[in-house]
């Protein structure tokens, strides 16, 4: 959520940023915010003055009671009746305006970083880097869902029986490979200095709001209405919320965490060939990295995250590219996002396997996550996160790119984690 005073002082920057996102009605919503803000401040002053008078009289009444001048006290009491009514009215008005303002602010996405290009959709994303060899698989290459069946390592139908479509069952070497990947990713992250955490897989509404899943993405999360808890769509939510409401010391930076969790997404309305197999699931595993940074450092930190993820993909010898998302494709809460896409040779398409973002103060403002700066004043911190990595598509990429006539070879880096070097 943008800060009102930021919008007030940087109206043109905000409008230009929203334009890059192709955000509709930016002009009118910003005007609405500014008028509501002005209205709120005006009402607040009136309320403050009324309360100040009321407080003053109350003190006088107290003094009269103490000195035994009961009559004088009673006269003053009558005066407070009107003040009370007035302050009640003003405070109701003030609350109503504050709610209105809040509703408006919740609708405004983050202002993109200056390096973000304007654009409507994924077609306008910029390809900024690519690496790795695309293997020549010959004529008989299979997509991962067929490989999964051939080697009996993932059973989609069984998952459908147990839960429904999008909940695969991993079996034998498939399950082991998945576990190997999780351990491998966590080891890579902890070696890079990230502290490993295990966090709740269900979160309350407050947490989901703070990182930006609520109110806009409500329909995308599974919701236990009895307990009013949400199944996490990503570990970003519980890990970032570890710091909700915190006032950290500048010397605590950088705060770097990593965690493995399953992720749950309703994906309502998704269909077609692009969601086949492991391409899109309701439940999938992911290892996430989260950083809390000083504002001066956050972009350097984002680059560091990108380098870290590159390093992993390089070690797995998978062909990938990095996209800088355009304004229209950048998530609601992010200022700058780099997507990592793995090339699936057998499907002849790119699969998103990681997304690294800097949210600047957008989440911190909702989280009330601050630090004390050198002047002793509190300032909002910057939050960042990235996947390192999302499991199913990496698994799909390995199955497809490493397939041979003898079976599926295991990337060297994973062999110690798997305990075998081929699936056949």
Using CB under 7 A, list all residues that contact RNA: 4-5, 41, 44-45, 47-49, 51-52, 54-59, 61-62, 65-66, 77, 80-81, 84, 247, 370, 372, 376-378
Shortest spacing between CB 82 and RNA, in angstroms: 11
For RNA, the closer CB: 90 or 414:
90
For RNA, the closer CB: 231 or 410:
231
Show contacts of 181-186: CB within 8 Å, 24+ apart: 181/391, 181/394, 181/395, 181/414, 181/417, 182/260, 182/285, 182/287, 182/391, 183/417, 184/413, 184/414, 184/417, 185/260, 185/287, 185/312, 185/388, 185/389, 186/258, 186/260, 186/287
> Rounded distance, CA 151 to CA 370, Å?
51
* Max CA pair span of the chain: 103
Burial 412-423 (b: 16+ CB within 10 A, else e): eebeebbeeeeb
CA-based end-to-end distance of the chain = 51
Shortest spacing between CB 87 and RNA, in angstroms: 9
For RNA, the closer CB: 73 or 197:
73
Residue 66: is it exposed, middle or buried by C-beta count within 10 angstroms (0-12/13-18/19+)? exposed
Shortest spacing between CB 204 and RNA, in angstroms: 9
β strands within 241-328, DSSP E? 247-249, 255-264, 283-293, 320-324
C-beta atoms surrounding 319 within 10 Å: 19
Shortest spacing between CB 133 and RNA, in angstroms: 46
For RNA, the closer CB: 65 or 420:
65
Alpha-carbon 51 to chain mean position: 41
Shortest spacing between CB 361 and RNA, in angstroms: 12
235 φ, ψ (degrees, to nearest 5):
-65, -15
For RNA, the closer CB: 56 or 314:
56
Shortest spacing between CB 69 and RNA, in angstroms: 12
| Nearest in space to 211 (alpha carbons), one of 98, 306, 295, 110 | 110
Shortest spacing between CB 158 and RNA, in angstroms: 25
For RNA, the closer CB: 32 or 321:
32
For RNA, the closer CB: 163 or 247:
247
C-beta atoms surrounding 372 within 10 Å: 15
Alpha-carbon 126 to chain mean position: 21
For RNA, the closer CB: 15 or 57:
57
> Rounded distance, CA 265 to CA 188, Å?
26
Shortest spacing between CB 120 and RNA, in angstroms: 34
For RNA, the closer CB: 40 or 393:
40
Shortest spacing between CB 51 and RNA, in angstroms: 4
**Residue in this structure with the two tokens 């970032």, named with its chain if needed:** 240
For RNA, the closer CB: 85 or 157:
85
For RNA, the closer CB: 186 or 248:
248
> Rounded distance, CA 350 to CA 341, Å?
6
Which element (helix H / strand E) includes 390?
strand 382-390
Torsion of CA 11, 16, 20, 26, to 10 degrees: 50
**Residue in this structure with the two tokens 């309350």, named with its chain if needed:** 204
Shortest spacing between CB 141 and RNA, in angstroms: 44
Shortest spacing between CB 52 and RNA, in angstroms: 3
């Amino acid at each position: 959520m943008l800060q009102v005073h930021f919008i007030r002082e940087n109206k043109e920057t905000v409008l230009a940023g929203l334009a890059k996102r192709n955000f509709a009605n930016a002009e009118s919503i910003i005007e609405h915010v500014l008028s509501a803000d002005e209205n709120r401040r005006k009402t607040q002053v009136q309320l403050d003055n009324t309360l100040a008078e009321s407080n003053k009289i109350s003190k006088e009444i107290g003094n009269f009671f103490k000195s035994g001048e009961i009559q004088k006290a009673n006269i003053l009491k009558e005066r407070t009746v009107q003040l009370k009514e007035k302050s009640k009215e003003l405070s109701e008005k003030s609350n109503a305006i504050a709610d209105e303002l809040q509703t408006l602010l919740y609708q405004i996405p983050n202002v993109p970083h200056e390096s973000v290009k304007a654009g409507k959709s994924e077609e306008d994303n910029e390809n900024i880097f690519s690496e790795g060899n695309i293997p020549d698989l010959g004529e008989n290459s299979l997509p991962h869902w067929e490989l999964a069946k051939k080697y009996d390592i993932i059973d989609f139908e069984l998952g459908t029986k147990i839960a429904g479509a999008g909940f695969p069952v991993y079996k034998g070497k498939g399950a082991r490979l998945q576990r190997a990947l999780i351990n491998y990713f966590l080891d890579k992250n902890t070696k890079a200095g990230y502290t490993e955490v295990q966090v709740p897989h269900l979160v309350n509404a407050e947490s989901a709001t703070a990182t930006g899943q609520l109110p806009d993405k409500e329909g995308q999360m599974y919701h236990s209405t009895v307990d009013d808890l949400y199944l996490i769509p990503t570990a970003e939510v519980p890990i970032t919320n570890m710091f909700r409401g915190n006032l950290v010391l500048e010397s605590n930076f950088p705060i770097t965490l990593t965690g493995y969790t399953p992720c749950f997404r309703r994906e309502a309305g998704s269909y077609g060939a692009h969601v086949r197999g492991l391409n899109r699931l309701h439940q999938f595993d992911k290892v996430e990295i989260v950083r809390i940074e000083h504002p001066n450092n956050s972009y350097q930190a984002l680059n560091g995250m990108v380098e870290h993820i590159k390093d992993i993909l390089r070690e797995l010898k998978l062909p990938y590219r990095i996209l800088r998302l355009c304004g229209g494709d950048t998530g609601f809460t992010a200022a700058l996002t780099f997507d990592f896409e793995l090339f699936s040779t057998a499907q002849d398409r790119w699969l998103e396997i990681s997304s690294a973002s800097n949210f600047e103060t957008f989440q911190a403002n909702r989280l009330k996550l601050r630090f004390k700066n050198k002047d002793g004043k509190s300032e909002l911190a910057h939050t960042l996160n990235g996947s390192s990595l999302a499991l199913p598509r990496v698994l799909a990429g390995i199955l497809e790119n490493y397939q041979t006539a003898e079976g599926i070879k295991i990337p060297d880096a994973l062999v110690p984690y798997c305990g075998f070097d081929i699936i056949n």
